[in-house]
C-alpha cells in the first residue's frame, strides 16, 4: 500500500495514511468549503486498504476545529474503518482533545455513539 501524506493548510488538516504501519493520522483543522473533494482520495485509499488491512490499524485524530461538512466526511472514514474492524482486524481509534475543549470532547462522543469500533478519548494537557 502506498503512503499518503498531506501537509496541513489553513483550511485542511495534516493527513498521514501509512499502509506499511497500519497508521492513520489526521491533525489540525478541517474547514474546507468543499470537504468531499478533500476527503474523497482518503476514502478511496481506505477502500483499497480495507481489502488487505494489517492485523492492527491505529487511528489518531487530533483536530482543533472542523466544520459541519467535514463532520460527515470524518464519519465516512470511521464507517470504512468499521467495515475493516467487522471483518476481523483490530482497529483502534484515538480521539485527542485539549483539556478545556468541551466541544471537541462532545464531537468525539457523537462519533463514539454512532460507530462500533474501539474508541478512546484522550485528553491532552496544555
Partner 1 sequence: MGFDIDKWYLRKLQGEIIVRYMGDITPDMITEILEVIESNLNLKKVNNQTRKKVYNVFVECIQNLFHHVDVPPDNTIKAGQRFGVIILARDNYFYRVSTGNFIHFSKVNTIRDRIDQINSLSDEELRSLYREILGNEGISFKGGGGLGMLDMVRKTGNKLEYSIYPHDKDFVFFAIDVYIS
Min. distance of Cβ 39 from partner 1 in angstroms? 10
Among 35, 45, 46, 49, binds partner 1 (CB under 8 A): 35
Among 58, 60, 71, 94, binds partner 1 (CB under 8 A): 71
Question: Sign (positive/negative) of CA torsion 24, 98, 119, 109?
Answer: negative
Residue 98 lies near partner 1 (rule: CB under 8 A): yes
- Select the span of 49-57, 88-96, 105-113, 116-124 touching partner 1 (CB under 8 A): 105-113
Residue 120 and residue 102: Cα distance in Å, rounded?
16
Residue closer to partner 1 (CB basis): 58 or 71: 71
Min. distance of Cβ 112 from partner 1 in angstroms? 10
Contact set with partner 1 (CB under 8 A): 10-11, 31, 33-36, 64-65, 67-69, 71-73, 75, 98, 100-103, 106, 110, 113-114
Amino acid at each position: 500500500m502506498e503512503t499518503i501524506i498531506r501537509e496541513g493548510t489553513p483550511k485542511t488538516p495534516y493527513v498521514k495514511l501509512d499502509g506499511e504501519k497500519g497508521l492513520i493520522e489526521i491533525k489540525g483543522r478541517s474547514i474546507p468549503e468543499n470537504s468531499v473533494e478533500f476527503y474523497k482520495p482518503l476514502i478511496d485509499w481506505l477502500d483499497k486498504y480495507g481489502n488487505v488491512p494489517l492485523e492492527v490499524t491505529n487511528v489518531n485524530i487530533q483536530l482543533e476545529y472542523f466544520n459541519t461538512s467535514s463532520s460527515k466526511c470524518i464519519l465516512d472514514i470511521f464507517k470504512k474503518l468499521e467495515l475493516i474492524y467487522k471483518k476481523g482486524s483490530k482497529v483502534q481509534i484515538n480521539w485527542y482533545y485539549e483539556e478545556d475543549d468541551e466541544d471537541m470532547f462532545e464531537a468525539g462522543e457523537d462519533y463514539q455513539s454512532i460507530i462500533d469500533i474501539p474508541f478512546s478519548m484522550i485528553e491532552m494537557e496544555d
